[in-house]
Chain A
Amino acid sequence: MTPHPAIELAGIDKSFGAVHANKNINLTVAKGSIHGIIGENGAGKSTLMSILYGFYQADRGEIRIDGKPITIRDSQTAIASGIGMVHQHFMLVENFTVLENVMLGAEGGQLLAKGVAGARKELKRLEAEYGLDVDPDAIIEELPVGKQQRVEILKALYRGAEILILDEPTGVLTPAEADHLFRILKVLRDQGKTILLITHKLREIMAITDEVSVMRRGEMVATRKTAETTVEELAELMVGRRVLLRVEKGEAQPGKVLLSVKNLTVKDSRGVTMVDDVSFDVREGEILGIAGVAGNGQSELLEAIAGIRKPTSGEILIDGQPVAGLDPARLRELGLAHIPEDRHHMGLVLKFEEYENSVLGYHRDPRYGRGALLDLDAIRKDAEEKIAKYDIRPPNPRLKTANFSGGNQQKIVVAREIERDPKMLIIGQPTRGVDIGAIEFIHRRIVEMRDAQKAVLLVSVELDEIRSLSDRIIVMFAGKVVGEATPDAGEQALGMMMAGAV
């Protein structure tokens, strides 16, 4: 008799309100294998793993571990069933030592003294066995990210995990650290552990998995033996053959360079380089699209250009004038409009009434009131005009912004930024969480901006959107620009660049 598979998922289904995150998922993972799960952002990978680790309960379906059906009610059950998880954002107590973090929740008795010696011994053994070299007494916050991740793996192993789920584990690692991780994972597999690797990077899938399953829009669309598939096939499965949203647009008439980014480097608060020596130009009358899977530095790039994040080095020029380090208010005066990626936290104040949001960032403009006071009549009139022109529904400037639908909220932001008649427009994820009708509308507006000889920089993780709107495309991967393409470049070719496979 062949041994039971480590994990079997049968008919897993999960919805959040109207969002169908997982549709009838079936998955079998063989014991002692590295199984990759690949898919674009929002394909439902994380939801599935959260169900497996007890964060969410599936609406329907069965989970079998080692052939035994179980109900995973919480993380405790998952841990008890031998499932360990390495989260994308580490679940570590930063001012604790490695040993303390490993012991947390599995202390082995009321008094630490009892458990410490044993834990230390066990930790040493695990480290030796799997080549996970970390000093047990080191403080987490003083360790490099790669070692912190090893602590997460050790935590899982210490709790007797036989199945290890890693969620986008290389997102925060340098290439060398990632290679080291892969070696560790191989050792773990060879010792009989089962590994589920969630990623959107094809290179990783090809490098270390035995089998790979592809998710797309909440569905499990295929499972392949890694040895029998190709990067091209996976890219196609991942992206799918979607009907390209057609946007009517004529030839671009690019003029002079308006926005110029030179050797820009941006580090985040932890000191990790998010944007790495990026250079490009955007001309008036063109849309430059930046393609890439989320988390490859696009967000930080946009924020640096918009003045929200201070660049570490490099230059940003508007009309030849250096603007790096200027604050957002000053940049708006220079004609830079910004439709941010996250309308809930940046683009809008959800507790404000609609009209209040219609001037966010431009509230100091004299047309909205001279002197210290706001001219509410002027603002409301202005808001009403935008509501009419952009067909924002319900057409009520006094309604609280939180009560508008996603598409209408986004229209509020788009209207505000475009109606200012800026010289250049930078846009992040213009249609995330937006209904089809609003998508078309927003796309048309963006093209109109181009036709009005504005410089447009568009960041989107939706490849269709990039392809249908952009006049030129650059692809970002791991903080770097890895390639440039025209919109008629094949989806596959772009997909491979986005996955760092080129």
Chain B
Amino acid sequence: MSTASVPLPNWISYGVLPVLNLLVAFFISGLVVWSIGENPFQALKLLIEGALGRGEAIGFTLFYTTSFIFTGLSVAVAFHAGLFNIGSEGQAYVGGLGAALVALALDHYVPWYVTMPFAVIGAALFGAAWAFIPAWLQAKRGSHVVITTIMFNFIAAALMVYLLVNVFIVPGKMAPETRTFLPGGQLPKLDWLMALFGMKLGPAPFNVSFIIALVMCYLVWLLIWRSKLGYEMRTLGISPSAAVYAGIPYSRTVIIAMLISGGLAGMMALNPVMGASARLQVEFVAGAGFVGIAVSLMGRSHPLGIVFAAFLFGILYQGGADLSFEMPNITREMIVVIQGLVILFAGALEYMFRPAVVRIYQTLSGK
């Protein structure tokens, strides 16, 4: 009998197998480090110190974590509806436009906490709008959302550069970016939160969007596992034929799922644009949309898993930056390698070890 049909207990399917996949991904990353003549364990130690050693380091780690939570959630929501949204990167980029427009419009007049809700809505709306066309094309014209969202990433890049160079640029300045937002258009740092743990944030841009991200985790959890819409999305994602049987409308569900996914990606922009640089800059997303794919796969598309995975990637990004100072041989791009390996082993090869694990399980349990 084929091993594919043997049921495994949840703690193996959702515990042992994913951990095994991750360990292999990290093991190979270690091999890469070793192959360029560095000690992987030493590198790991430096990386963790660099990410968690001081308050400032933790602040940076959590800053990255925040971005990755948003994009991870974005990928996960689409994934639950059976859609692979590779467009979080572009949706986040355009979301930045929404956030920036709100900040530019309001920062003269109101304090940040008044701006914030509008900025959240603005970022989400713009991100969702950017996801709408691929969603509509998938739902109504059958164009594959993977391809169209890739295309829309590039279109977003062109559009944003155009807008920043030709529309938003501050006259007389060279840098293609908007003017700096006043405090009314900025999201304040979370120094007080760090202080609670007796740590100093320093210049790290860890800011209020982290809390928004956690709220979104809760809302996504509520959406996916507690709402009627989420139930319909999951049904469609797992079994399109059962969705038809249950009378779940395909087009509507696909489009709504993609709008939510795009909205979450758009909100990612709050963190770098309003929380860190206080202006809209070219390429501010910096690959966070793609990290979202790894985060979502690793976090098994569950908000809790996503928070952990995002934190792990936050550590990698911050620690990796530090590591590259200490060990100049290991550049920051090592993180990208690890990210790729995580996607490969937690995603494409997720069942590679299953047959072996099934055999071991059967032997041990005496079946």
Contact = CB atoms under 8 A, between A and B. Distances in A.
Interface in B190-228: 222, 226-228
Contact of A308 (B1, B234, B244, B249): B244
Nearest to B249: A327
A17 B241 contact: no
B239 interface: yes
B235 A373 contact: no
B231 interface: yes
A58 to B, nearest CB: 16
B247 A347 contact: no
B245 A369 contact: no
A332 B247 contact: yes
A496 interface: no
Contacts of B244: 308, 328, 346
A328 B247 contact: yes
Interface in B12-57: none
B114 to A, nearest CB: 27
Nearest to B236: A349
Interface string B304-329: 00000000000000000000000000
B229 interface: yes
Contacts of A364: 228
Interface in A381-428: 400, 402-403
A373 B229 CA distance: 8
A330 B7 CA distance: 36
A307 B249 CA distance: 12
Contacts of A342: 241
Nearest to A345: B241
A374 interface: yes
A102 B7 CA distance: 42
A345 B239 contact: yes
Interface string A337-356: 01010100111111110001
A330 B247 contact: yes
B247 A373 contact: no
Contact of B245 (A328, A352, A376): A328
Nearest to B243: A349
A360 B235 contact: yes
Contacts of A338: 245
B232 interface: yes
B337 to A, nearest CB: 32
Nearest to B5: A17
Given A364-B228, A369-B228, A352 B238 contact: yes
A286 B226 CA distance: 40
A212 to B, nearest CB: 34
Interface in A298-313: 306-308
Size category, A interface? 20 to 34
A462 B229 CA distance: 38
A349 B239 CA distance: 6
B246 A372 contact: no
Contacts of B249: 327
B245 A361 contact: yes
A183 interface: no
B247 A349 contact: no
A363 interface: yes
Main secondary structure of the interface of B (DSSP, over half): helix
Given A332-B247, A373-B222, A349 B242 contact: yes
A363 B229 CA distance: 10
Given A349-B235, A356-B231, A372-B229, A329 B246 contact: yes
A400 B14 CA distance: 13
Interface in A446-501: none
Given A356-B231, A364-B228, A373-B226, A329 B242 contact: no
Given A328-B244, A360-B246, A374 B228 contact: yes
A328 B205 CA distance: 51
Contacts of B222: 373
Contacts of B235: 349, 352, 360
A348 B227 contact: no
B229 to A, nearest CB: 7
A346 B228 contact: no
B260 to A, nearest CB: 13
Contacts of A328: 244-247
B231 A374 contact: yes
Given A328-B247, A373-B226, A374-B231, A347 B1 contact: no
Contact of B242 (A306, A360, A402, A403): A360
Nearest to A340: B245
B246 to A, nearest CB: 4
Given A346-B241, A346-B242, A374 B227 contact: yes
Contacts of B1: 17
Contact of B227 (A340, A350, A372, A402): A372
Contacts of A307: 247
A363 B245 contact: no
With a 10 A CB-CB cut-off, give which of B1, B228, B244, B247 has the most chain A CB atoms.
B247
B177 to A, nearest CB: 39
B15 to A, nearest CB: 15
With a 10 A CB-CB cut-off, give which of B232, B244, B246 has the most chain A CB atoms.
B246
A470 B248 CA distance: 32
Contacts of B247: 307, 327-332, 361
B8 to A, nearest CB: 10
Interface in A22-71: none
Contacts of B238: 349, 351-352
B241 A363 contact: no
With a 10 A CB-CB cut-off, give which of B227, B242, B248 has the most chain A CB atoms.
B242
A328 B241 CA distance: 12
B246 A361 contact: yes
A363 B246 CA distance: 9
Contacts of A329: 246-248
B239 to A, nearest CB: 5
Interface string A8-19: 000000000100
A403 B7 contact: yes
A369 B228 CA distance: 8
15 contacts: A306-B245, A307-B247, A308-B245, A327-B247, A332-B247, A338-B245, A345-B242, A346-B241, A346-B244, A349-B234, A349-B239, A352-B238, A360-B245, A361-B246, A374-B227
Interface of A: 17, 306-308, 327-332, 338, 340, 342, 345-352, 356, 360-361, 363-364, 369, 372-374, 376, 400, 402-403
Interface of B: 1, 7, 222, 226-229, 231-232, 234-235, 238-239, 241-242, 244-249
Given A308-B245, A329-B247, A351-B238, 14 more contacts: A328-B244, A330-B247, A331-B247, A346-B242, A347-B245, A349-B235, A360-B235, A363-B232, A369-B228, A373-B222, A373-B228, A374-B226, A374-B227, A374-B231
CB-based closest 9 A-B pairs: A329-B247, A328-B247, A361-B246, A346-B245, A345-B241, A349-B239, A349-B242, A360-B246, A351-B238
